[in-house]
Structure 1
């Protein structure tokens, strides 16, 4: 792993215990796919960070992130492939919640991968999480802050059930997303993705796929999808910035009810939207 802080390569992975990212989760992040030395969907990731630092009222010049990215990539091989994580922390401060004035710290991480996949992944078991997602605090709606405790607990629940992933719902029993991904489902001959008015993250890949659906005139809807509609799902997939399509093979509706989904429908969409260029 290669590690950079504020444009400088750092050999020791040390963060101060007075850093607000450690104390309060006071910061934001984005995780991106690096392919042949290029950060995929970079402009979307940059826009996400701009929205986040503005919402969090952080003293962070977006041009500094751009410059740090260019410096960081110079340390990698031209054909490097893997994962890039960018973290923005408000930095060190005295005790208390009051916002300090100093410039935010910008961290870049690079994680190489040895088995880069170029095709959709099949998730054989996708469960239904009983616990509901909390409604987002309005100023932080859709912002990917450093507070991921909800996802950590949900991931633990899914692992206990031996599920590959799981679908999550809000307090009104509307479908929101996967644990670490957005979702698309095929119902009544059309693709749908949940409306994220109350909670959830409007992910990088979700935005890209919706843009491609509009461009290629693929019928689709962004709407509230009730839990009662889940048995009507004919096909579905999950997506995040690291991969455009994780196909849902089976939905574990109950301990004794398993719903097999149409994988071919997802593969056809994968080809129609030319998503191979994003993996």
Structure 2
């Protein structure tokens, strides 16, 4: 079952008209959320990112879109799908629901919430090889829109296809200034000595929820120097560690880039701290 604008319907009955603006123009955004045994992780950050994104896209935010309303919608959907005792991936998609071509006749919205089962209750560190390469066929424009989770993600799609066709596990995306900004499915962190660096939002990387959580954690760890700064492709091979973050999988170490192999010491430490905060409800 999915929640289609407040109505619970079977997955194959949640149909959208061909004129749907999310389909026709990518005039939509989405929020991907992890829920562990009925507890929505980082809900406040997700909610405020969703509201801020809607404002930036000039969508009309419904009066009923309070944190309490959306939280209840999520939990009701989880319960009706018998997923309330396990970990769940929730996806909220908000699309502008109006006639028109490029210019809509109004800014009113509708929404869809879907739920799917996750395999692990907490974040785990993969021991599998994760070899990446740079995706140079297309670049991300470094602007505010690029930091949002809109349905305009064709560069990520093409990068994923490129990785698959060429025997890589992932690709790193570049912005129009040829700086490395993120992976196809998450934010990028670079470790060199006791310095941990991640691209700034000004470079066009996604304003990731787990990126935000890790920056908060790192602020309190005195043995690390944290930097939000541009990362050039040349820095990748000088790093001790590279890892990718997203709210569903947590922290995913990069094992290889070109001839460079990376360690996972910092990744493991940060993952332990992250999981302990989740257990404590922090």
TM-score w.r.t. length of structure 2: 0.87
Q: How far off is 1:63 after superposition?
A: 4.1
> What is the aligned partner in structure 1 of residue 189 from structure 2?
184
Give the distance between the partners of 2:195 and 2:139, measured in 1 at CA.
Answer: 26
Give the conservation status (yes or no) of the 8 Å contact 2:131–2:256: yes
> What is the aligned partner in structure 2 of residue 70 from structure 1?
72
> What is the aligned partner in structure 2 of residue 4 from structure 1?
3
Structure 2 gaps of 5+ residues are none
Give the distance between the partners of 2:277 and 2:37, measured in 1 at CA.
Answer: 12
Secondary structure (helix, strand or coil) at the match of 2:104 reads: coil
Change (3 A) 1:207 1:16: same
Secondary structure (helix, strand or coil) at the match of 1:110 reads: strand
Give the distance between the partners of 2:112 and 2:120, measured in 1 at CA.
Answer: 25
Give the distance between the partners of 1:241 and 1:74, measured in 2 at CA.
Answer: 21
Matches within 5 A, 1:111-130: 111-116=116-121, 118-130=123-135
> What is the aligned partner in structure 2 of residue 97 from structure 1?
102
1:203 maps to which of 187, 204, 208: 208
Secondary structure (helix, strand or coil) at the match of 1:70 reads: helix
Give the distance between the partners of 1:62 and 1:122, measured in 2 at CA.
Answer: 46
Give the distance between the partners of 1:15 and 1:56, measured in 2 at CA.
Answer: 21
Q: Structure 1, residues 15-63: CA drift from partner, whole Å, max 9, x if none?
A: 1112111110101111111110122111111111111110111112364
Secondary structure (helix, strand or coil) at the match of 1:163 reads: coil
Matched, 1:156 2:161: yes
Write out the 4+ residue segments of structure 1 that deviate beyond 6 Å after TM superposition.
none
Matches within 5 A, 1:30-69: 30-61=31-62, 63-64=64-65, 66=67, 67-69=69-71
Give the conservation status (yes or no) of the 8 Å contact 2:28–2:93: yes
TM-score w.r.t. length of structure 1: 0.88
Secondary structure (helix, strand or coil) at the match of 1:191 reads: strand
CA RMSD of aligned residues (A): 2.1
Secondary structure (helix, strand or coil) at the match of 1:275 reads: helix
Matched, 1:145 2:150: yes
Secondary structure (helix, strand or coil) at the match of 2:140 reads: coil
Q: How far off is 1:199 after superposition?
A: 1.7
Give the conservation status (yes or no) of the 8 Å contact 1:123–1:164: no
Give the distance between the partners of 1:263 and 1:224, measured in 2 at CA.
Answer: 22
Secondary structure (helix, strand or coil) at the match of 1:274 reads: helix
Matched, 1:165 2:170: yes
Structure 1 gaps of 5+ residues are none
Between the two proteins, the alignment pairs up a number of residues equal to 270
